[in-house]
Amino acid sequence: MSKIILDHAAPQRRLFLKGLAALPLGLSAAPLHAAKTERHLGFRHTHTEERLHLAFRNHHGYIEPALKRMNWLLRDFRTGESTRMDPRLYDMLHAISIACGGDTFEIISGYRSPKTNNMLRKTRGGGVAKRSLHMDGKAIDIRLVGVDTIRVRDAAIALGAGGVGYYPESDFVHIDTGPVRSWGPKKA
């Protein structure tokens, strides 16, 4: 017999996560200690084995050299093309890592060139959107090391900040900065 556990903290946790997502827009100009305001991310690209751990934001805002390094890491590994990724993705990843307790994201897919997107549409059928937000630098497919992808999915949905796709058979979560929506199985 399965046990149903009610999580009375869920509404408060959702509000907390939404607050984290809104923080980039609401930082005051008051001087703050860098240690309190720096945001860090860690990555391992599953196709290239490249790793990157860095601060991408501080009390002054986004750190441009860090954004450039992350943009390069998230390039289309098939063609070598890169683009400027939407920095809001990095804020979403940071909020997800805080909510889930992980610190290194495995990258399955970041930027996709139109050529790569067309190739994937032909070889994988209906699982790849014709106008994928990956081609605009507004989407990323991830895992969080040591965290079940269902927890990552739930944390991303709780942000209420964009699209969230759950692919349990491939063990990854898609997040994007497009309209708020979700897809994939609702239960693990």
Nearest CA among 112, 116, 76, 89 for reference residue 173:
89
What is the reported pLDDT for 27? 35
Question: pTM value?
Answer: 0.78
Which of 8-12, 28-32, 76-80, 132-136 has the weakest average pLDDT? 28-32
pLDDT in tens, 63-87: 999 999 999 999 999 999 999 999 9
Q: Which CATH class is domain 35-183?
A: alpha beta
Domain residue limits, the chain: 35-183
